[in-house]
Structure 1
Amino acid sequence: MKTARKLSVAGAVAMLALTALLVSPAGPAEAADTTTTFQVSGGALSVSAPATKDLGTGAAAGTLTAQLGNVTVTDSRAQLGASWTATVSSAGFTNADVGQAAPITTVTYASGTATATSGLATFLPGQISPAVPAALTSTGITAFSASAATGNNSATWNPTVVVSIPAQAIAGHYTGTITHSVS
């Protein structure tokens, strides 16, 4: 009887050993970790605007209001907490027919709200409404800005330009440059 009991204990031990083998996961005899890295490249900060725009025709002592067309700032620097400010400036408008310059204070600019944005950032127009424009200067005014950006982002707006034509303006074709820049 003692022999049968010894076999039962030996059988139980063998069963436990077999169960342990079946339950424990089969793993490699050795393991090797590979530290893996990659890099995200950053791009540039850029601005685009229409190359030309005809604002139309107005009379002396009148006003001329027109939208300039889409202006877009694209921030491809892929940074955390980045910011940018787009400025707009103009040195004035000259009558190409007679060489007369219109006073720069007669031209105002209102960025209005964004027509499109992408990415994560806080976007702010320089002038929210065409009802409250800012006078264009040769040193520039803020057109749009972004702060607290995460990664790539962009903003597009279609600004309103208002030309208050002086009473003493000479008839003819006036030409000037409105310059957008971003930093």
Structure 2
Amino acid sequence: MRTVKICLAGAAAAAMVGFLAAPAAAAPTDTTTVTFEVLAGTLDIDAPAAADLGDGAPGSTITGALGPVTVTDSRGAADASWAATVTSTVFQTGGGTAAETVEPELIDYWSGPATATTGTGTFTPGQAAAVNAAPLSSVTPLPAFTHTGGTGGNTATWNPTLIVHVPLDSIAGVYTGTVTHSVA
């Protein structure tokens, strides 16, 4: 009997040592909370610094492309809508007498379709076709392009055409003015 008690005590002690010495059980999964931030950017417009539309005689029409105009919207907005507009100064040569100026109302603007877009939403040209060309103004902004709806970032590029109706009483010279695109 004493042998059985010693054996049982020994077995119990061995089991206790095995239990205490056993490695800890590892968790089968673990999680990590990850964060990042999307920063709000800006709404910008980029147009060519200069353009030469060509030449023509008094009473003629001079037509030429202005060059690519691009709106970049990186505001990251829930509603990524914007509207681009265009205005113009008076074009003049020499001293600026009546015969040496061409008023912006004598210059038609045609945005034409987008040459490239990115993002979601609807991109709409101010003047989709040449027949929709509209006169510029030094006071009232003319719609050039719009974007409605969509979320996050987007871009639109178009290559507008200017159509100058040269007055019959214009004198010879290089006429210079400023066409300004804005976006909001």
Cα separation, 2, equivalents of 1:101 and 1:161: 16
Aligned to 2:174: 173
Q: Which residue of structure 1 lines up, in the alignment, with residue 127 of structure 2?
A: 127
Q: Matches of 2:153 and 2:40 in 1, distance apart? A: 9
Q: Which amino acid aligns with 2:145?
A: F
Shift of 1:98: 3.5
Which of 75, 79, 82 in structure 2 is aligned with 1:81?
A: 79
The aligned runs of 1:1-183 (5 Å cut-off) are: 28=27, 34-95=32-93, 97-99=94-96, 100-138=100-138, 139-183=140-184
3-state DSSP of counterpart to 1:57 = coil
Cα distance in 1 for partners of 2:91, 2:111 equals: 20
Contact 2:73 2:80 in 1 (8 A): no
* Cα drift, residue 101 of structure 1: 1.9
Q: Unpaired segments of 5 or more residues in structure 2?
A: 1-24
Q: TM-score, normalised by structure 1?
A: 0.80
TM-score, scaled to structure 2 = 0.79
Deviations 1:128-162 (A, max 9, x none): 01222011011211100101121110000000100
Q: How far apart, in 2, do the equivalents of 1:84 and 1:71 lie?
A: 15
Structure with bigger strand share is 1
Deviations 1:105-150 (A, max 9, x none): 1101010100000111210000001222011011211100101121
Q: Alpha-carbon deviation of 1:34?
A: 4.8
RMSD of aligned residue pairs (Cα, Å): 1.7
